[in-house]
A and B are shown apart, each in its own frame.
Chain A
Amino acid sequence: DSGVTQTPKHLITATGQRVTLRCSPRSGDLSVYWYQQSLDQGLQFLIQYYNGEERAKGNILERFSAQQFPDLHSELNLSSLELGDSALYFCASSASGGGLNEQFFGPGTRLTVL
């Protein structure tokens, strides 16, 4: 158990809908990262928050947004969903905002868009 929690585990929805994925980092970790893993591919970095502020952005679509709250949990909002958004979404946390810190991953949310 990494100490990172994600809810829900599974989400099935229809095209055009909006969903929210939630992540709670390990106790004491200030950084939260979101990654997307599509079928048979590696993890693609979406966005990072550090202590409530956006720190880095990757290949995140404009239809996607995220935020980190004062209690350090984070939410990833996906809107106007398309079939191609079906994927595993992982949240990770680390103690600091960068440098030589390994990231600890949650179990992921599997999103299926029908």
Chain B
Amino acid sequence: DQQVKQNSPSLSVQEGRISILNCDYTNSMFDYFLWYKKYPAEGPTFLISISSIKDKNEDGRFTVFLNKSAKHLSLHIVPSQPGDSAVYFCAASGSNDYKLSFGAGTTVTVRA
């Protein structure tokens, strides 16, 4: 049962433009959301997170938006750079549920 869904398997964007990655979840007990970035042959690297008491969190070029009523979050990368080309995973957990539930990932390709 996939509780975290990333419906776009891939995204291609031009360097300097905005990348928008989307994620939907079904479990209303989730209250902490994270984005991880993964390069080939490496483990996922933590990128940014947001708790359910916020609707936006920003860190440099990365901003995560949370819409609790829609059970939807998004990651904005502005401006996109070639080094951002990677697989991005959305993950979620509940405060009483220690594991992370991951989406299937979105492969981002930034074109020069």
Q: Which residues of A contact B (CB under 8 A)?
A: 2, 4, 6, 31, 33, 35, 40-45, 48, 50, 55-56, 58, 90, 92, 97-100, 102-108
Interface residues on B, range: 20 to 34
Question: A97–B98 contact, CB under 8 A?
Answer: yes
Tell me the complex Cα distance, A65–B102, Å: 22
Chain A residue nearest to B38 in the complex (CB): A105
Question: A58–B43 contact, CB under 8 A?
Answer: no
Q: Which of B45-53, B59-67, B69-77, B78-86 contacts A (4 or more CB under 8 A)?
A: B45-53
A2-B45, A102-B49 given; name 15 further pairs at CB < 8 Å: A6-B43, A31-B98, A33-B98, A33-B99, A41-B104, A42-B6, A42-B103, A43-B44, A43-B102, A55-B98, A56-B98, A98-B97, A103-B100, A104-B46, A106-B43
> Which of A2, A35, A98 makes the CB contact (< 8 A) with B96?
A98
Tell me the complex Cα distance, A108–B49, Å: 22
